[in-house]
Structure 1
C-alpha cells in the first residue's frame, strides 16, 4: 500500500494564486521569458503540494516587505483611543483659533503656525503608535 509522506502539505488555491502572481511579476519585470512564464504557470496550477510550489520560485527574488503607509488612518483611530482624543483636541483648538482670527478681523492668517504644529504633533503621535505596534510594544492607552 502506498502511504503519502506526512511532511508534505497540500496546496490551496490561494497558495497557487500567490505563486502564480510571483511568476507573472517576474515575467513582467523581464526576469523570465514568456516561455518560462507559461511553463511555470502550468506547473503552478498542476501542483498538489506546497513544496512543489516553492521549487518554482526559488530562483526568483523575494518581494520587498510592504512599506509603512500613512500612519493616521481610520483603522489606527479605531485601535488607539488616545489618537482619537488627540485628533479631537487638535480639531477643537483649530476651530477656536480660526474663529478667533475671523472675529478679530486680522488680515494675516496667523493661525497657520499653531495649526501646523498641531498637525505635526498628531502625525508624530500616529507614527510612533504604528512603529510601536509593529515592534510589538504597543502601549494600551
Structure 2
C-alpha cells in the first residue's frame, strides 16, 4: 500500500481533462513536441493526485484571461440585485434632475454633470462586481 500524505487531494476526471486540454493546447502552439504531449497525456490520465497534475503543467505559461467585456449586461443585472438597485437610483435621480431643469426653465442643461458621474459610478460598480466574480471562479491548473 502506498504512503498517502493527508494534504494530497485526489484528482477528479474534470481535473485531468482540464490539464489534458492545457497540454494539448501547448502542443498545438508548438511549446511541446508530439512525443512530449503523448508522454504528458499518459501521465495526466495515470495521475491520482492533483499535485501530480500540477507538476505536468508547471513549465507551461498560464493562459491569458479573456477580456471581461462590457460589465453592465442583462446577465450581470440578473445576477446582482445591487446593480439593479444602483441602476434604478441612477435612472430616478436623472429623471428628477431633468424634470427639475425643464420645470425651472434653465437654459443651460446642468443635469448632464450629475448624470455623468452617476453613470460612471454605475460602470465602476459593475466592473468591480465582474472582477470579484472572475476572481471567485478562476481555477488554476
* Cα 1:9/1:75, change in 2 over 3 Å: same
2:87 partner SS: helix
Query: Is structure 2 residue 47 aligned with structure 1 residue 47?
Result: yes
Q: Is the 2:77–2:84 contact (alpha carbons within 8 Å) kept by the matching residues of 1?
A: no
Q: How many residues align?
A: 128
Tell me the TM-score normalized by structure 2: 0.59
TM-superposition CA deviations, 1:3-41 (whole Å, max 9, x none): 221215432101101211221221232211233223322
Task: Tell me the equivalent position of 1:5.
Answer: 3
Task: Tell me the equivalent position of 2:106.
Answer: none
Task: Tell me the equivalent position of 1:59.
Answer: 59
After superposition, where does 1:12-23 map in structure 2 within 5 Å? 12-23=12-23
Tell me the TM-score normalized by structure 1: 0.59
Query: Where do 5+ consecutive residues of structure 1 fail to align?
Result: 103-108, 136-141
* Cα 1:133/1:14, change in 2 over 3 Å: closer
Considering Cα pairs closer than 8 Å and 6+ residues apart, tell me whether 1 or 2 has the greater RCO.
2
Q: Is the 2:23–2:40 contact (alpha carbons within 8 Å) kept by the matching residues of 1?
A: yes
Task: Tell me the equivalent position of 2:30.
Answer: 30
Quote the RMSD (CA, aligned, Å): 4.2
* Cα 1:11/1:70, change in 2 over 3 Å: same
State the 1:131 CA deviation. 6.8
State the 1:88 CA deviation. 0.6
